[in-house]
Amino acid sequence: MHLTFIFQQPGGADLLAAIHTASAGAQRGGGMFAFASQSGVAALFSRDGIGQFLKRNKKFQLIVGVDAITNAEALLCIGDEITRFPSLSAEAFLHEHNQSTFHPKFAWFESHAGLTVVTGSGNLTARGIGKASIHTPAPGNWEAFGVHKLINPSARETLDLITKWVKSQQIDGRLLPLNNDRVRQRAMRNGLVRYPTPVVVVPGQADELLDVHGTPIDDPSFDEHDILIRELPRNRPGQADVGKDALEFLGYHDTPIDILIQYVKENNALGTVESQRLFVNSSQNYRFELSPLARLPYEIAHDDGRMIVVAAKLDRRSFRYTLVPVTSSNHVQLSTLLGSIKTKANRRLMREARMTSAQLRLKWPSAPLHLMPTPNSSAAP
């Protein structure tokens, strides 16, 4: 066995480089990480390294934990990579041990020369896996890892150990598809914790990491006004006509996109996590489906007030929302936040407002507890 031990400093990408180097010439590989983020996923599957590995149709099995940090956006981004690379597979490790955390952090690659295992402290996040930066102080974590190069019989024994462990966890029901409802529920819960987003702008840097939709990673724009309050017009059951601005709030920008949404009742009960495909049809109708809407009677208040949806952005691609009919005790308070009713050419305009979670908490103290994200002063791992 040959071991290389490395300390990674903030602003370095040694772990990412080591994984990419290990993938060169490999026949198959895999990785397990306790936490994953959109930016970490984008870095791992970028056009260099593993991106090239997967383009050669080599199999890579990814396992991520959902005890913390890993949010719905991360799961959706991994799903996007699976669409791009059919030889990529991914599962989430989900357990019910409240006092325990799934915490491995390693990647492995098998080649004709043997087995390379890259194992250490860094998670599948931009701060953990590493991203080169010219900023002072540089963003990122202090990490440490080792690159182990094994040959038979050590290589075979280690690979057998990994294979048997994965199989045993699948049999025990701890490894689940990313679209499993329990996995999505946990990821949405993780999204309620809002970490400060690092802004890394490198002038003239040509290889800035983008997600599959062309969005720069570490974009903090959703932190500004992460709450949408909007009236809904009467429409067919379950269909929410929200308008162009609101659909853009939900992530639609001229290109169809998949998002996850979860209903939160006014009494704080949670609904299932639903996948939605946002798009605009040929008639330019800016609408999407909200299944709970079909179960609520649509009534109009005496002052011409309408049903209100309050949507909270957990990350760029996952949202929680609640529906407030005119018969609700909360309706008058929210209607006041929307301002006076307006018409144009004798047509009733749907009122709309945006604000931060902190502002809404002050103005609507009785808002459902599980609706909005909670700021965290520390940086994400």
Give per-residue pLDDT as tens, 178-223.
999 999 999 999 999 877 655 444 444 444 444 443 444 444 444 5
Give the H or E element holding residue 5. Answer: strand 2-8
Return the pLDDT at 284. Answer: 67
The pTM score is 0.88
| Pure H helices in the chain | 14-23, 38-44, 50-55, 72-84, 126-129, 154-171, 181-190, 243-249, 331-338, 357-363
Residues 144-164 have a mean pLDDT of 96
Per-residue model confidence as pLDDT tens digits over 309-347:
999 999 989 999 999 999 999 999 999 999 999 888 888
Per-residue model confidence as pLDDT tens digits over 97-148:
989 999 999 999 999 999 999 999 999 998 999 877 777 777 789 999 999 9
Q: Which residues contact 83 (CB under 8 A, 6 or more apart)?
A: none
pLDDT higher at 259 or 376: 259
pLDDT higher at 225 or 38: 38
Nearest to 258 by CA among 103, 116, 72: 72
Task: Please say if the pLDDT value at position 96 is more than 70.
Answer: yes
Return the pLDDT at 197. Answer: 55
Return the pLDDT at 1. Answer: 78
Return the pLDDT at 133. Answer: 72
Return the pLDDT at 19. Answer: 96
Nearest to 278 by CA among 311, 229, 323, 244: 244
Rg of the chain's alpha carbons, rounded to an integer? 23
What Å distances lie between residue 171 and 22, 176, 182, CA to CA? 30, 10, 17
What Å distances lie between residue 250 and 125, 239, 320, CA to CA? 23, 15, 11
Per-residue model confidence as pLDDT tens digits over 223-269:
568 999 999 988 887 788 888 888 889 988 888 899 999 999 999 99
The identity of residue 299, as a single letter, is E
State the average pLDDT for the chain. Answer: 88
Q: Which two tokens stand for residue 11?
A: 């602003």
- Alpha carbon 52 to chain centroid distance? 24
Return the pLDDT at 129. Answer: 93
Nearest to 74 by CA among 379, 357, 314, 377: 314
Residues 358-375 have a mean pLDDT of 91
Interatomic CA distance for residues 10 and 318, integer angstroms: 29
Return the pLDDT at 210. Answer: 45
**What are the backbone angles phi and psi of residue 69, rounded to the nearest 5°?**
65, -55
Burial of 6 (0-12, 13-18, 19+ CB in 10 A): middle
Return the pLDDT at 207. Answer: 43
